[in-house]
DNA sequence: TAACTAACGTACTGGTTCGTACATTAGTGG
DNA sequence: CCACTAATGTACGAACCAGTACGTTAGTTA
């Protein structure tokens, strides 16, 4: 069986990045081992330094790739045909599903925050532009529509609403271990999935609908 | 100046624990260095092993101590004299203040979750009992009062409400770095503190007040 | 005050881990 | 088909780091 050419720079690079993403998400930056990443690829440690330069640059590349994947996924939401309330519910639900489906991304973000965002802060501007646009801009439009129809409060800011939605979704996945140990409730139990999804949408909609 | 006895087991132990808590919160488990902790105490590395046994046990002790401090602080909330809505607001605000005042605790919890709660899961039951009681039990009572007075929805669960409040408070502190880098907004800017505090209380109250 | 033990310090080790020097092969342009 | 370069592999080193062997001193008790 011929699995392709013996030399394929793009493929080797991609494979390293994929394995590294998993390893960093799994072990954290300091906990991740370059040798372990190398062992789990079809190539050697030498190639990591050849393509990425070092452990830290590899980590930054993995973080960047994770954000890029997310950005791509977020652009697929279509709520133009929905009323403001239904549109907000949909955005909350899509965000919810999205976080549940990407625990590794949430772990990488947590890890980066443990490092006080020092790596993402050093990323070139070009890699961050566009990361915010899709979800928040959409939220802003819907909020304005809702306000125009007298459905939503005037003082609600799109970025704040996005923050509240993210907080709920991220916490449920990121903090499920300590929460489970202390309170004895599994936040990602499939049987409770719909309950939390509905709760989030209810909470956001009721906040927006309430008088100031 | 006589700073006390040259030998004081309790003091030495306490000092190690204090420095270790700061170092683990700062660097994470794998990133923390036993030598560095020792260097920042008035004693030596030998004493860490003498009193705690090893790096992992020291980390567990630091985590346990952090939770103990929190538990003590949470028991000081008094809302018996308030109506259900005001009581809920007060709990949300106290939790908010509390998280803002203890970023190191939040960091330790994040770190423990990166490790999938493996250490907290192995803690003796006795150390976890009582950790949940104060805040959530109180919430349960208020919810029931509010329900009795027809103010709150029937389907609201105390632990879920606690989760939603925690999520908001934790996210704002824990994820402020990546959020700030991507959206250009500092979530812990003192000028926005009151805004977020009010927003959280509004959100929880409106969720509870809305019809199902 | 002598014997004893809890508390503490020094110096070291064995394994780990990031990174690199050096060698080699596959593909490619002339 | 021959030189040249991009891509890859091997073997190793130097620093780091958790943990410990061994020795010492302070306080305590008989």
Q: What is the mean pLDDT of residues B122-148?
A: 84
Rounded Cα distance, B171 and A169, in Å: 10
Q: Is A42 within 7 A of strand C by CB distance?
A: no
Residues of A in contact with B180 (CB under 8 A): 117
With CB atoms and an 8 Å threshold, state whether A209 touches B209: no
Is B46 near strand D, with its CB below 7 A from some atom of it?
A: yes
CA separation for the pair B54, A174 (Å, rounded): 27
pLDDT at B3: 37
Condensed to tens digits (0 to 9), the pLDDT of residues A8-62 reads 889 999 999 999 999 999 999 999 999 999 999 999 999 999 999 999 999 999 9
> Which pLDDT score is estimated for B27?
98
**Each residue of B173-210: pLDDT tens digit?**
999 999 999 999 999 999 999 999 999 999 999 999 99
- By C-alpha distance, the chain B residue nearest A207 is B203
> Which among A205, A162, A152 is positioned nearest to A74, based on CA atoms?
A162
pLDDT of residue A131: 64
Nucleotides of C under 7 A from a protein CB: 6-11, 17-22, 26-27
Q: Would you say the C-beta of A6 is within 7 Å of strand C?
A: yes
Give the class (CATH, top level) of A63-209: mainly alpha
How high is the pLDDT of residue B211?
A: 87
Q: Do A120 and B181 touch (CB under 8 A)?
A: yes
Strand C within 7 A of B187 CB = no
Name the CATH superfamily, with its identifier, for domain B65-209. Answer: Tetracycline Repressor, domain 2 (1.10.357.10)
Higher pLDDT, B155 or B5: B155
The residue that minimises its CA distance to C1' of D27 is: B7
Residues (pLDDT < 70) of chain A are: 1-6, 129-133
- Cα distance between residue B172 and residue B168, in whole Å: 6
- Is B2 a residue whose pLDDT tops 80? no
Is residue B160 scored above 90 in pLDDT? yes
On the question of pLDDT at B132 being above 80, the answer is no
Q: Which A residues 150-189 touch B at CB under 8 Å? A: 159-160, 163-164, 166-168, 170-172, 174-185, 187
For the segment B138-150, the average pLDDT, to the nearest whole number, is 96
Q: Which residues of A, range 42-81, sit inside 8 Å of B by Cβ?
A: none
What confidence score (pLDDT) does residue B135 get? Answer: 82
What pLDDT, on a 0 to 100 scale, did the predictor assign at position B1? 33
Query: Could you tell me if B90 lies within 8 Å of chain A, comparing CB atoms?
Result: no
């Amino acid at each position: 069986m011929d699995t392709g050419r013996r030399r394929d720079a793009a493929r080797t690079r991609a494979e390293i990045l994929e394995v590294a993403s998993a390893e960093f998400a799994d072990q954290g930056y300091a906990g991740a081992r370059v040798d372990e990443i190398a062992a789990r690829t079809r190539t050697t440690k030498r190639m990591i330094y050849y393509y990425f330069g070092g452990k830290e640059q590899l980590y930054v590349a993995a973080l960047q790739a994770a954000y890029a994947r997310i950005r791509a996924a977020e652009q697929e939401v279509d709520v133009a045909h929905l009323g403001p309330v239904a549109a907000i519910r949909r955005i909350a639900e899509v965000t919810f599903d999205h976080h549940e489906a990407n625990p590794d991304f949430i772990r990488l973000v947590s890890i980066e925050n443990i490092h006080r965002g020092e790596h993402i802060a050093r990323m070139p501007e070009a890699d961050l532009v566009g990361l915010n646009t899709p979800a928040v801009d959409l939220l802003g439009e819907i909020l304005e529509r809702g306000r125009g129809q007298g459905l939503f409060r005037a003082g609600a800011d799109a970025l704040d609403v996005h923050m509240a939605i993210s907080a709920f979704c991220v916490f449920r996945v990121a903090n499920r271990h300590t929460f489970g140990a202390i309170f004895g409730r599994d936040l990602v139990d499939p049987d409770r999935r719909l309950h939390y999804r509905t709760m989030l949408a209810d909470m956001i909609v009721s906040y927006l609908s309430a008088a100031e």
